[in-house]
Structure 1
Amino acid sequence: MADKQISLPAKLINGGIAGLIGVTCVFPIDLAKTRLQNQQNGQRMYTSMSDCLIKTIRSEGYFGMYRGAAVNLTLVTPEKAIKLAANDFFRYQLSKDGQKLTLLQEMQAGCGAGTCQVIVTTPMEMLKIQLQDAGRIAAQKKLLDAQAQLSAQGGPPPSMEAPAAPRPTATQLTRDLLRSRGIAGLYKGLGATLLRDVPFSIVYFPLFANLNQLGCPSSGEKSPFYVSFLAGCVAGSAAAVAVNPCDVVKTRLQSLQRGVNEDTYTGFLDCARKILKHEGPAAFLKGAYCRALVIAPLFGIAQVVYFLGIAETLLELLQRPQH
C-alpha cells in the first residue's frame, strides 16, 4: 500500500503547472465562448468563434483576446490543484485493499472533486466573465450609438467592429463587488456553477480513468503519455458538451453588465426559462464547440503533466542531500 499513498504537495504542484500551461494555450477560445454565450437574439455581434476572435483582434488588439487571463492564471492553479487532488483523495478513500473502483465509486469521487473546486471556481469565473464580456458590451454600445447618428443622417450602417473601451481591472471589479454586495457578490451564480462542475466531474473522471486504462500495457503500469493526453481530450470534450446548458445559464447569471434590450435574470430557473422562451432550445448549446475546444487540450495537458509526475521529480531533486 506504500505506493498508493497520496503525495498531496506533488498533486497540488502538478495541478497548478497543468492549469497554467493549459489556460495560456486555450484562453482566446474561452473568451470567444463567453461572448457567444452572452449575446442574445437581435443583439448578435459575432456569428462564430472565428468571427469573434477576428473582431476582437481588430478592435482590441492581440492582447484583447487575453482579457481576464490574469484572473484565470492566478486562480487556475488552486482550482486545478483542488480538482485533481480531491479526485485522487476520494478515489483513495473509496478504494478498499487496492481493489478496482466500481463506476458508482468513480462517480462519487468525481462528485466530491467537483464540489470542492467551486470554492475557487465561482469567484474566478465571476471576475473572468466580467473582463471577457466588457469588450462585447462596449462594442455593442458604440455600434448602436453610431447607428443612431447615421440613421438620423441617412448614411450607411456602420461596421460591427468598435474601438476598444477603457478596461476594468480584476482589482476594481473585486473591490466594487465587495463594497456593493459583500463576499456573496463573488459567489453569484454558485448554484449554477455547482450544477455545471459537479456533473462535469461525475462524467469526466470515470470516463478518463476507463479510457486511460485501455492504454495500459499491463496491470499496475502507467499508460503512455499520449494515451493520457488523448483520454483527457476525449473525456473533457464529452463532459464539456454534456454540461454546456448549465454553463450558458451560469455565464448569463454571472454577467453583471447587460447589452441594450438584453434580458436580466433573477435566478437559475428564471434564466433557463427566458432563454428557452426567447431564444429556443438551441441557445443552450451556444459556445459548446468553443467549450469543447477549450476543455479538450486543457485536460489533455493537465493529465499529461499530472501523470508524468513533474512535481514528484522536482520535489525529489530538492530533497536530495547537497554535497
Structure 2
Amino acid sequence: MSSYLVSSLVAGAAAGTAVDLSLFPLDTVKTRLQSAQGFWYAGGFRRIYAGITPVIVGSAPTAALFFCSYEATKRGASKIFGPSQKSEPLGHMLAAMVGEVMACLIRVPVEVTKQRTQASQLSSFEVLRGTMRTEGFRGLYRGYRSTVLREIPFSVIQFPLWEFLKGYVQSRQEQDIFAWQSAVCGSVAGAVAAAATTPLDVAKTRIMLAERQSVQARGDVALVLRDIWSREGWKGLFSGVVPRVTWISVGGFIFLGVYEKLKPCPVIT
C-alpha cells in the first residue's frame, strides 16, 4: 500500500472517530425520532450515550476503509478518464460509491447494534448477543441494502459538491485551500446531502429496528417508504431531519476538515 493511501487511511480514521464521538447525542435523538415507537417510548433524552460502545470500536475502521477506497478509486478514475473538468465529477461519484459499498461492510453491523441499543433499555453487549442468538450473523447485516441505498446517493451528492466548492474557493483566491475552508465546504455539502436523503435514512432505521418477523424486516426499502408515507405522510418521511442535518453539517465540518488537515498532498508519479 502506498504511503499516500496509508495517510488517507489514518486521516479518515481520525476524522471519523472525532465526528462520531463528539456528535453522538444528536445521532441518538435522530434515531429515536425516526423509531416507529416514537421518540419518548424509544427513550427520549434518557441514556443519550446508549450504543456508543460499538461506535468507539467501529468508527475508525469504517472511516478509514471509506477514505482509503475513495482516494484509490479517485486516483484510478483520474488515470482512466483523464484530468478534464468534465470527467472529474464522474470520478468523484464513482469513488464515493465504491467507498460507501466498502465502508458498509463495517458500518452496518455497527449501526444495527448501535440503533437497537439507542431505541431500547438494553446494553450494546445484550443487543449484540440477542441479535446473534435470534438472527445469527446475518442479523448484523439486516439493512445492508437500505444502508447502501442511503449512502450512495448521499455520497454522490456530498462528495462531488464538496470537491466543486473546494475548487471554486481555490480558484477565487488563486492559492491552495486551507483546511478550515475545506471544512466549511464539507459542512455545506453535508447539509444538502443529509436533507435530500432523509427519507432513505428513515427507511433504513425502521428496517434495522423492526421485529424479526415483520414485513419491514425483509428490507424492502420501497415498501417501507410507501408504508411510512401512507401512515405518516411527509412528517414521517422527514422525521429526524433537523438533528440529521445538524449532525451531518457539523460532522461534515469536523470530518472533512480533519481529513483535509491530516491528508498529505498526493505525489503523482
CA shift in 2, pair 1:222/1:254, >3 Å: same
Question: What TM-score do the two structures reach when normalised by structure 2?
Answer: 0.86
Contact 2:32 2:39 in 1 (8 A): no
Residue in 2 that maps onto 1:305: 258
| 2:63 matches 1:80 | yes
Letter in 2 for 1:189: G
What displacement does 1:267 show? Answer: 3.2
| 2:2 matches 1:9 | no
Letter in 2 for 1:229: A
SS for the counterpart of 1:216 is helix
What displacement does 1:37 show? Answer: 0.6
Letter in 1 for 2:40: M
C-alpha offsets along residues 4-34 of structure 1, whole Å, 9 cap, x if unaligned? x662221111111111211122111111100
Query: Match for 1:267 among 219, 224, 229?
Result: 219
What displacement does 1:183 show? Answer: 1.4
SS for the counterpart of 2:122 is coil
Letter in 1 for 2:53: A
CA shift in 2, pair 1:78/1:220, >3 Å: farther
Letter in 2 for 1:190: Y
**Partners of 1:123 and 1:302 in 2: how far apart?**
21
**Partners of 2:238 and 2:51 in 1: how far apart?**
23
Letter in 2 for 1:88: E
Letter in 2 for 1:99: P
| 2:89 matches 1:103 | yes
**Partners of 1:192 and 1:176 in 2: how far apart?**
22
Residue in 2 that maps onto 1:251: 205
C-alpha offsets along residues 272-295 of structure 1, whole Å, 9 cap, x if unaligned? 222111111331111111111111
**Partners of 2:153 and 2:51 in 1: how far apart?**
25
What displacement does 1:218 show? Answer: 8.2
What are the residue-to-residue correspondences of 1:72-221 with 2, within 5 Å?
72-96=55-79, 99-100=83-84, 101-134=87-120, 167-216=121-170
What displacement does 1:222 show? Answer: 3.5
**Partners of 2:61 and 2:182 in 1: how far apart?**
22
Contact 1:130 1:256 in 2 (8 A): no
SS for the counterpart of 1:280 is helix
Contact 2:78 2:88 in 1 (8 A): no
Cα RMSD, aligned residues only: 2.6
State, as a whole percentage, how many aligned pairs show the same letter. 28
Larger Rg: 1
Query: Match for 2:34 among 27, 37, 56?
Result: 37
Moved more, 220-229 or 243-252: 220-229
CA shift in 2, pair 1:131/1:12, >3 Å: same
C-alpha offsets along residues 155-188 of structure 1, whole Å, 9 cap, x if unaligned? xxxxxxxxxxxx4222222222222222110000
Letter in 2 for 1:90: T
Query: Match for 1:28 among 25, 30, 37?
Result: 25
Which blocks of at least 5 consecutive residues in structure 2 are unaligned?
A: 265-269
| 2:178 matches 1:224 | yes
Contact 2:6 2:68 in 1 (8 A): no
What displacement does 1:85 show? Answer: 1.9
CA shift in 2, pair 1:222/1:120, >3 Å: farther
Question: What TM-score do the two structures reach when normalised by structure 1?
Answer: 0.73
